[in-house]
Chains A and B, each alone.
Chain A
Amino acid sequence: MTEPFLVAKNIAKRFGALTALSNVDLEIRSGEVLALLGDNGAGKSTFIKILAGAHPPSEGELVIEGKSVAFSSPKDAASSGIATIFQELALSENLSIAENVFLGRELKRSIFGVPFLKRQEMRQRVDGLLKELDAHISDPEAPVGSLSGGQRQAVAICRALNLNAKLVIMDEPTAALAVAETRKVLALTRRLAARGCAVVLISHNISEVFEVADRIVVFRRGRKVAERLAAETNHEEVVSLITGAHPDVRALEKTN
């Protein structure tokens, strides 16, 4: 088994008297799609916000490629190779695909000290990324505002790849998409993993999760209650883990 990209050790998060997350141990591996499942309020969002650097954990530590890290901002997480694709994509609709992919990190050449954009190079790089992802977007110069929801997800993924992200966190990427679009985004998710990225996927749709995930982690009431290889579990078991009907979860909840 390969060395995990990220190890979360005993992570806890408290907001005042409220414990949102406790004792979470988790390993995230490169080339693997890890699905986080759980009811609303189970702690999934809190956990990915800690991974994304948006919240500091109250307890525990994050280890990336063997080194302990402490994020004080999303920028720190990004420079450690973690990219988060939030549900409300942070794309500028009025700018082109290529411009969005490079926004904030443009390629430029200095002429008399003035930074001029290398538009040609940026366009070619984005063209290559789009082809590699098989995203079915022909023109990197098209404005993002003209794209469908699934295509926008593809642009956000391109952006993450272009930042050399080693871990891509996707927060319900298919929540607002039509069926055909959902298919495409799931395929993209698989391709990200095939490229060697670690992918963390949050979803409410269990059949979708079985389609793409290698491993499934279930959160319940702020704790990780189960971890299964997707190949070794089934729909019914996962549902019972989420609802707490599963004997393992009952046993766990009885002990505390």
Chain B
Amino acid sequence: MSAVRQSANGVFSMNGREWSLLVACLLAIVIFSVASPHYATSGNAATVLRNSVELLLTGLGMTLLLAMGGIDVSIGIVMGLAAIAIGRVLGADGNPALALLVGPLVGALLGCVTATVVVLGRVPAIVGTLGLLGVYRTAVFVLLGGQWLSGLPSSLTNVLATTVLGVPVPALVIAIAYLIIWLALRRTPYGLHLLAIGNSEEKARLSGIPVIKTRFMTFLISGFLTGIAATFYVATYRNVEMTIGSTLALDAIAAVILGGTSILGGKCSLIGTVLGVLLLRILQNGLLLIGVPSLWQPVVTGVLIIGVLGFEAVSNRLPLGLIQRARA
């Protein structure tokens, strides 16, 4: 028992849920390899990993938000706004240094806006971020003037598409972000406070936890990560389209829940989120290659969310009183 608990504290240690996700990933790879001759190629593996970058970064932020009993359905459009800012800077003078700064900065600022609405303004997170989503959607439309931002200079791409000691820059950034968040979550008071708030905000307050500061910080961190995601997005595609990020929040929430983080807060898994993202992207890519139109991707994601939460609800089906007592 104590050995299990020890290992559960490791940076990449896994529990049953996480091992089964890994098995699911491998199983999906095997099935798609058999079903499609184009699947098991190094080029396609690179595509899947490439497509996972933004989702991994925003997924880490979403893990913290859900663990805290929060949520943010506006991350896709926040990434869009940050991407537009990056695109404008790039388009103006192509200076990659400035372009690298502007994404995280805009992301963090918009994170502060979300925190102001949800934390200081006490609007429930799901409603507050849904409201912001509406506002930002129009802002993106107005800023883009109904057109794509396209043909951006490759200066940012040249910086971010390189490798450091053989490791691609996106992988390095994700690894660093993962490590920092893992340390904050498991080794500092912040992590305890986050999980206590996720369990019960009122009890956390009675325990003397700085609830408002902790919640504000977490929305800020999520915004910052979304800004970094926007930077990789622009570097990769060198354009910003009207529909940017429209499925990002759905995908992130699905991946995080798949990974074993509780939608009700108080429990989370970072390694689970990473595996959840990979499984989601493997499924989306594989289905595409066996001829399922990309139109169906959100359907798959949506069904996955409902399936996972439905399965958990059924497998935990205890007398209602027991559940309430356990959560009280």
Contact = CB atoms under 8 A, between A and B. Distances in A.
B189 A91 contact: no
A117 B196 contact: no
B189 A108 contact: yes
21 contacts: A90-B202, A92-B200, A92-B204, A92-B266, A94-B195, A94-B198, A95-B195, A99-B192, A103-B193, A103-B196, A103-B207, A103-B208, A103-B209, A104-B193, A104-B208, A106-B189, A106-B192, A108-B188, A116-B187, A141-B2, A145-B326
Contacts of A92: 195-196, 199-200, 203-204, 207, 266
Nearest to B266: A94
Interface of B: 2, 5, 183, 187-189, 192-193, 195-196, 198-200, 202-204, 206-209, 266-267, 326-328
A106 B5 CA distance: 21
B188 A91 contact: no
Interface residues of A, number: 24
Nearest to B268: A94
A93 B326 contact: yes
B186 to A, nearest CB: 9
A65 to B, nearest CB: 23
Contacts of A236: none
Contacts of B192: 95, 99, 103, 106, 117
Candidate in A74, A86, A92, A139 with the most chain B CB atoms within 10 angstroms: A92
A252 interface: no
B199 A90 contact: no
A83 B328 CA distance: 21
Contacts of B200: 92
Nearest to B210: A104
Interface string A174-201: 0000000000000000000000000000
Nearest to B202: A90
Q: Determine the main DSSP class of A at the interface with B.
A: loop
A115 B183 CA distance: 11
Contacts of B328: 88
A91 B203 contact: yes
Given A92-B195, A93-B326, A94-B199, A115 B207 contact: no
A207 to B, nearest CB: 27
A105 interface: yes
A155 B187 CA distance: 22
Interface in A59-104: 74-75, 78, 86, 88, 90-95, 99, 103-104
A141 B2 CA distance: 9
A145 B189 CA distance: 20
